[in-house]
Structure 1
Amino acid sequence: MALSILFAGLGQIYNRRYFKGILFALFEIAFIITFGEFIGLGLWGIFTLGEIPGVDHSIFLLVYGLLSIILIVFAAVFYIYNVRDAKKQAQAILDGWIPPTFKESLKAGYDKTFPYLLTTPGLLLLIFAVVFPLMFAISLAFTNYNLYNSPPRHLVEWVGFSNFTNLFTNNLWRNTFVSVFSWTIVWTVVATTFQITLGLFLAVLVNDVRVKFKKLIRTILILPWAVPGFVTILIFAAMFNDEFGAINRDIMMPLFGLEVPWLTDPTFTRMVLIFIQTWLGYPFVFALFSGVLQSISNDWYEAADIDGASRWQKFRFITLPHVLFATAPLLIIQYTTNFNNFNIIYLFNEGGPAVQGQNAGGTDILISWVYKLTFDTNNYNMAAAISLIIGLMVSIFAIFQFRRTAAFKEEGKL
């Protein structure tokens, strides 16, 4: 073990596992030659983010540093495995174990490493497509990277928790954050609850034995799901246009003599957005609940009829528990999805209308606000800070709710 700590593979060679020892040693030598200089530059860059404006590019140095950290983690995992392997083999030799031949070693190594060989490409893709971008976004949340402080002309600096402090101390950022966050919560809860309630109501209604032509009705009710969401949103945006939209021109004016400011008043815009999301979201919930309802045995309802149960009691104690038991995790996903539902907010009115004293629109939710901060005003640091807050909130909510649904694994605990 001591030899393997000194240099990878020496312990295996001492244990007469020559092929494995040479392979480990070559791997360490190749790693040092290939990545040694890069890791040195990366570690220097991530700590300093550059020293000479116009020459050092802080963002590139940050990227090099994050990649260096990932490479160091890979090397540490390999080195720990190398040391533990040497110690395990030495202990086995003391217990009388005889090292296998080269051919036997190859066969045993292939059998043991085959699952890892299959999963390694997926692991690497996950690290560089998910973990690395996440690390980069988190890092930006602790810098002053914005439009007026962009490399290579300027150097980016580490500012600690200043961005998060500004969200709650600076009047502009605080007012905007409180307003956007409040609307995001209202939007998530109300819009999702409406689509779930409507989907459940229609599923129970269509599933009633007295309803005829069930297949036709189900097909009609699922049709909104068949139309691409962005097409539906753009059509509704045109229909609710204040000046030439069909709602004002053909309905509100002829019948009530009113021109409702659907796109210029935040309250009316929010009402329309909730209506559109209910229209877009209920077909999936309806299809989901319809399948669950058909799996409930009629014997339960017949027994309830014999006991004199009312329709409400049968729904409350038979239908609803079964539906929630089967669909609770998917319903939670509906809430977390709408929390970050960027498409409908941006496509309908780009988060508008504008609100005085804020740098976000009247219907912007957190994710659409982050988009504007990133691509419209280039406030990368604040966008990253808000994104980190969004990620924490969604993760905590999802983990909490999924842990709660663990109680539904046994139907008797409903």
Structure 2
Amino acid sequence: MATQGAPVKYSKHSPALAMTLSLIFAGFGQLYNRRYIKGILFIVLEVSFIFTLGRFINYGLWGLRTLGVTPLEDHSIFLMIYGLISLLLIAFALGLYILNILDAKRNAERLRQGESNPKMKETIRNVWDRGFPYLFITPGLFMLTFIVILPILFTLSLAFTDYNQYNSPPGNLLNWVGWDNFKKLVTLNTWSETFFDVFTWTIVWTLVATTLQIALGLFLALIVNDPRVKFKKWIRTVLILPWAVPAFVTILIFSAMFNGEFGTINRDLLVLFGLEIPWMQDPFWAKIALIMIQTWLGFPFVFALFTGVLQSISRDWYEAAEVDGGSRWQKFRYITFPHVMYATAPLLIMQYAGNFNNFNIIYLFNEGGPPIPGKRAGGTDILISWVYDLTFEINQYNMAAAITIILGLIVTGFAFYQFRKTRSFKEEGNM
């Protein structure tokens, strides 16, 4: 006897069989479920994929595995790109294939429970109502895959090859070398000394320059926010002016001012004290100059940020602290500073992440110089500017890619921490 509410003819309808048929060939499960139009669409999609992209994917996977077998005829870089595109196409196809299997299972379960297949109009309406966001997100995701993800995968792949100025296609074929490039960075003296020096300076640069610009911005915001200060609007306008000037213009002007031969800092200012500092020639003084310039460039944004937050703090809190006998330092420590940090911490974290990859100031000031004998990087190069030099100056693409991966992991850690501190990736019900 059939179960109550389920027609006899569907009581033995098997979801497992529907899934198996869809696994054998996309659309077969839908035909088994009597969803003929949907089944035909899935069949057409798989047949079209096989006949139009099958040969390309097969060639791409071969090229990614071998990177070519005949110099001058096979180009390893093109083969690598074809292979990566093939992997992405396979990922999209697998996604649709899994969707086809799950759809067959759901429809089979509905039939087994006695529900009838929806009409075509009802199906289209359900797709529009429930799949509307996905329909509009899909083109963007598809473009993002080939504009962002593909270059990232290409960089990741280069880090595991021997692609450099002495081994470049099409005259030479590339080879997969595993983790050799990363081992060179930490074990081979010619690379490890430079890598650790640049990495250390990158950390010092990030911490010192960013902390100074935040401290200066907070200090000025506290002064301007003091009730005793008049002409607040004019003072804020003047302090934000450095932010209005394009950063590259400011950096180039400072580069000229710090020039040891004709720069105004040495010739017009320090000469009064009998000093002449080699800003461009000595790595130490070049680093000091860069930190000062970045402090000048970065404090206006922090100042504007803190000014808005300070104005949102209730005056009642300060009045209550005064009644309790709180000093200025205690009010700053227990009221102002915690409130400011709570409201701006994610943005301040991103200031550190931004300076970690601040290529513009390093390159525009003195192109990462001055050069240091025996080192593969300039005296003020940070990781991102060193990657630029390795890529465009000496064509060490494999090592540049390896450093880029390390750089990306560090910045990703910063970004992940920042997102954890905001509501950007929290569900609506968990706000």
* Paired position in structure 2 for 1:241: 259
Per-residue CA deviations over 1:325-351 (Å, capped at 9, x if unaligned) read: 100000000000000000000000000
Q: Secondary structure at the match of 2:398?
A: helix
For 1:384 and 1:401, the matched residues in 2 are separated by: 25
Runs of 4+ in 1 over 6 A off after TM superposition: none
* Paired position in structure 2 for 1:260: 277
Match of 2:102 among 77, 84, 87: 84
Q: Secondary structure at the match of 2:301?
A: helix
* Paired position in structure 1 for 2:367: 350
Q: Which TM-score applies when normalising by structure 2?
A: 0.92
- What is the Cα deviation at residue 154 of structure 1? 0.2
Which range moves more in the overlay, 102-111 or 201-210? Answer: 102-111
Letter in 2 for 1:297: S
Contact 2:346 2:421 in 1 (8 A): no
For 2:192 and 2:118, the matched residues in 1 are separated by: 68
Contact 1:328 1:405 in 2 (8 A): no
* Paired position in structure 1 for 2:198: 180
* 1:251 and 2:251 are equivalent in the alignment: no
Match of 1:65 among 51, 59, 83: 83
Contact 1:224 1:279 in 2 (8 A): yes
For 2:58 and 2:50, the matched residues in 1 are separated by: 11
* Paired position in structure 1 for 2:378: 361
* 1:329 and 2:346 are equivalent in the alignment: yes
* Paired position in structure 2 for 1:51: 69
Match of 2:175 among 147, 157, 172: 157
Contact 1:224 1:283 in 2 (8 A): yes
Match of 1:204 among 222, 230, 234: 222
For 2:421 and 2:151, the matched residues in 1 are separated by: 30
RMSD: 1.3
Identity %: 65
- What is the Cα deviation at residue 3 of structure 1? 1.3
For 1:31 and 1:150, the matched residues in 2 are separated by: 34
- What is the Cα deviation at residue 15 of structure 1? 1.0
CA spacing shift, 1:325–1:237, aligned 2, 3 Å: same
Q: Which TM-score applies when normalising by structure 1?
A: 0.96
Contact 2:350 2:418 in 1 (8 A): no
CA spacing shift, 1:141–1:10, aligned 2, 3 Å: same
For 1:105 and 1:121, the matched residues in 2 are separated by: 22
**Structure 2: runs of 5+ lacking an equivalent:** 1-18, 427-431
Match of 1:195 among 199, 206, 213: 213
Q: Secondary structure at the match of 1:99?
A: coil
For 1:194 and 1:106, the matched residues in 2 are separated by: 59
Q: Secondary structure at the match of 1:174?
A: helix
**Structure 1: runs of 5+ lacking an equivalent:** 410-414
Letter in 2 for 1:377: I
Q: Secondary structure at the match of 2:196?
A: helix
- What is the Cα deviation at residue 375 of structure 1? 0.4
CA spacing shift, 1:89–1:330, aligned 2, 3 Å: same
Aligned length: 406
Alignment map for 1:11-410 (pairs within 5 Å): 11-253=29-271, 255-400=272-417, 403=420
For 1:403 and 1:96, the matched residues in 2 are separated by: 46
Per-residue CA deviations over 1:212-260 (Å, capped at 9, x if unaligned) read: 000000000000000000000000000110001111111122x122221
Q: Secondary structure at the match of 1:147?
A: coil
Q: Secondary structure at the match of 2:376?
A: coil
- What is the Cα deviation at residue 404 of structure 1? 6.5
